[in-house]
Structure 1
């Protein structure tokens, strides 16, 4: 997916103020269903959380998973702008979704003969089942997101703090460029690495960047007429980000690991639990990219990380040995 940003758009590019509960709910449903945990480091980071959530999923979650499928656009009516920072307000907005919005959002949804009638009717614009949908969303949130919501917000806030500094010191161009490798900025085109075709038309209303804890791929959310489009992108997460979400927290690297590897390499290993680029790792560690290259070379030779290149970006992630070392 891509969006052409005009000059009026660029002067209105902004960052979200906090975590988006509706966006997190939709993104978590997508990552819950992914089956690439063995190949995708960002997706694999949620394996423990997936296991816990799958054990307690109510039957109503089948409808939510049909609506929020992996590698498909998030239905617009499920992430209303009104609920950008408040779950209750967001659920109230979903409850008020109209027939046109339902039909438009689900025009390409696959048929599912196992859906209850009230949910299957959404594709025809029937709004009668919305109260049941909202209750299913609340039940899912209580199970999957509420136990670790404070931690989630802390991770999103950390990403926002980093991006704010980039914006202050480098401007909008640096902010958009810094979203690599999942988002590519080649003025005036912003392109997301989501595998979905299409172009979101620009209306000069700007673009809101929303770091999303549960995203493993960016997602452009079109606005209602006159509204602001949103780009939900994967936030930079610390290695211990599953604490409170899977109720089996990964231990932060203690003194023993720092004694073994040195404090900087121990911190690098922790950050790389969810994979990131050389530039992202440098930003998180507060060192230069050349210094990061030296540290990653040592970690790679020790068999703790793997490195591969995507175009002009060098990406690093943990090996099973590196992950096992962190878990001790």
Structure 2
């Protein structure tokens, strides 16, 4: 999907304030159903979480998996307008979805014979089933997201902190360029690598960038009337941390890892679980930036971290291999 951003859009572009519980819920349902965990590193990072959730999934989730299919746009009424950063407000907005919004969002939904009648009627614009849908969303959230919501928030906050620094030092062009490789910015066109051949209209309302922990592919979300288009993009560090979703925060690297890498590089690897710049890493480790550069060079050559430059800032984060080593 693509959108052509006007000067007015760029002036009004901004970052989300926090993790979006409705966006995370919908994206996690897509990740749950993906079958490329052995080939796609970003998807494979959720294998342990996926196994746990499938084991406890309630029957009501069949409606949710029908609505939020992999490699398909998320129905717009499930992603209410930006500014709602708590689940209760988002679910209340779903309850108020208009019949015309339901029909428009579900016009391409596949026919499913096993759906309950109230769910199938949603595609005809019948809102009577919305309370049951909201109940199913709450039950799914309690099972799949609530146990590790603090991890989600920490990772989104870390991503937002890094993007804010990029915006501060490099401006909006650097911010949009830094969303690669699955988001392509060639002014004035922003395009997502999601395989959906559609163009989102731009009305000068800006663009809200929403880092999403459970996202594997970016998604452009059309605005509600008078609202702002949104880009839900994968957290740059979500793959590195998702293996620990059910275990809470990472443990301090043990003696075995320190023996393998050396104590400073082992500590650097742990810090980079949430990603940071060279100067930030130096401050955390208590060493000079030149010493950090030497350590990150070794870690990068070993395939444990990736490094990219945004104007005058050098940013580091873990690769899936680095994440697996830290989790072992």
If the TM-score is normalised by the length of the shorter chain, which range does it land in? Answer: 0.7 to 0.9
Deviation at 1:254, TM superposition (A): 2.8
1:118 offset after TM fit, Å?
0.7
Query: Are 2:195 and 1:195 equivalent residues in the alignment?
Result: yes
1:125-274 equivalence runs, <5 A: 125-237=125-237, 239-243=240-244, 245-247=245-247, 251-263=251-263, 265-266=265-266
Alignment partner, residue 37 of structure 1: 37
1:295 Cα deviation from its structure 2 partner: 2.4
Describe the SS at the equivalent of 2:302.
helix
Match of 2:302 among 299, 303, 310: 299
1:310 corresponding residue in structure 2: none
Matched, 1:22 2:18: no
SS at match of 1:226: coil
CA distance in 2, matches of 1:108, 1:283: 49
* TM-score normalised according to structure 1 size: 0.85
Shift of 1:225: 1.9
Q: CA deviation at 1:114?
A: 0.9
Q: Distance in 2 between matches of 1:198 and 1:271?
A: 39
CA distance in 2, matches of 1:71, 1:272: 30
Question: Quick check: 2:183–2:192 contact (8 Å CA) kept in 1?
Answer: yes
Q: What is the Cα deviation at residue 327 of structure 1? A: 3.8
Q: Aligned to 1:11, what secondary structure does the other structure show?
A: helix
Alignment gaps of 5+ in structure 2: 283-288, 307-316
Where structure 1 has 5 or more consecutive residues not aligned to the other structure, the ranges are: 307-314
Per-residue CA distance 1:272-294 (angstroms, 9 max, x = gap): 989x9xxx897985779986884
Report the Cα offset of residue 41 of structure 1.
Answer: 1.1
- Provide the alpha-carbon RMSD of the alignment: 3.0
CA distance in 2, matches of 1:230, 1:6: 15
2 CA distance for matches of 1:78 and 1:283? 40
Correspondence for 2:312: none
Instruction: Provide Cα deviations, 1:231-254, integer angstroms capped at 9, x if missing partner.
Output: 0011122634443x3348764533
Tell me by how many angstroms 1:264 deviates. Answer: 6.1
- TM-score, scaled to structure 2: 0.85
Stretch of structure 1 that moved more, 229-238 or 6-15: 229-238
How far has the Cα of 1:299 moved from its partner?
A: 1.5
User: Residue 263 of structure 1: CA displacement?
Assistant: 4.9
Task: Mark the CA change 1:137 to 1:157 in structure 2 (over 3 Å): closer, same or farther.
Answer: same
